[in-house]
Amino acid sequence: MTIQRRGNPKVPDANGIEKKIKRGNALRQASAWRVSRGSLLVVVVAMAVVGTLTWLYLASGDPYTTETLVRQAEVVAQTRVYTVDCSEDYENYKRYPGCTPQTCGRAVTDNSVTREEAMALRRLAERGLALAGSDGGASILDLHSGALSMGKQFVNIYRYFGEQITDVFSEEDFRLYREVRGRIQAVIAETFDLDPSLLYLTKPTFFSRINSTLAKTQHDEYWHPHIDKVTYGSFDYTSLLYLSDYGMDFTGGRFIFMDSNGNRTVEPRAGRVSFFSSGSENLHRVEQVSWGTRYAITVSFTCDPAHAISDPAMPITSV
C-alpha cells in the first residue's frame, strides 16, 4: 500500500486577505461615489429646471405683474399724467364746482420741487423725528397739529418740548414748507384743471419716516391697501413729496396703485411729487421697506372749506 503523504494545511495569506478587503472597500467607495455623483447630478438638473421655469413664469407677462410708471433714475421734467375713470365716491359728498374731480387720474413730476429743497425738508424731518420716533417701523411728524410719534403713542411736539422747539426748527424751515406746499397745490390745480383758490390744504398732512423695524402697533402697519377718500372723507386730492431715493437710501417702499388689471408703481426720488385724485379709482399701498430709511411728506387737499387747515407757523415763545 502506498502511503500518500499529506502536506501541511495551507495557512491563509494574511496579506492577500487584507488586499481583498481593501479592494472590496475601494469598490464599495467607488460604487457609493457613483451613486452620490448620480444623485448630485439629479439635484443639479432639478434645480436648473426649477430655475428655468421660474424665470419663464416671471417673464411670461402675467397680467398682475407690476408695471413701473416712473423709475427712480428717470427725470420727469414735464408732468406725466395717467388718466383713469372716476369712481362714484365723490357722489356721496357735496360737490364743489371748479374743484370736485371731473377728470380723475394720477400724475408725477420732478419739476415742482428741487432736490436741494427736498434735502432741506428731509433735514427738518430728521431733526423733529430725532426727538422721539415710533418703536415700530413708521414714524410721523405733523407740523400742523404737532403730532409726533413717541414709542407706541403720539405727543404734541409743541407742548411736550415747549420753548426747546426753537432749537430744532427755524422760521426758514416753515417758510420753505409753505412755499413748497403752494407749488404742489399749483401743479395739482393745473393738471386737473381746477381753480387753485378753491383747493384747500386738509389734514392729515405730515412727514413720514419708514424703515424695516417690525411693527409694534397698527400705526406702524403702513403697507395695507386703502382708499384715501374712504379713509379720510375730506380728501379730494392726495400728493406725496419724496425726500429720499429708492434703491439708494432704501429698498422696498415703492408706491403701488392697485388697478383691476395689475399694479402700477412709482419709484421714489428726492424732489419727486406724485399726486392723484383720492377716490376708489386710486386704490393704493406702500410696499414694505426692506432696507434703509424712506422719508416723504403727504400733502392732502380738499374742496370743502369746512375741512381746511392753515399752514404751520413757528411757535411764539415768551420772552
Show which residues are catalytic.
Answer: 294
**Alpha helices, DSSP H, located in 130-224:** 157-161, 171-191
Kindly report the number of other CB atoms within 10 A of residue 157's CB atom: 25
Q: Distance between CA 182 and CA 166 in Å, rounded?
A: 24
Q: How many residues does the chain have?
A: 319
- CA 42/CA 61 separation, integer angstroms: 30
Cis amide linkage into residue 204, ω under 30° from 0: yes
DSSP 96: -
Report helix, strand or coil for 237.
Answer: strand
Q: What angle do CA 222, 228, 229 make, to 5 degrees?
A: 160
**218 torsion bin: left (phi>0), alpha (psi -120 to 50), beta (else):** alpha
Q: Which helix (H) or strand (E) holds 49?
A: helix 14-58
- Cell readout for 281 is 379709482
Chain centre distance of CA 134: 17
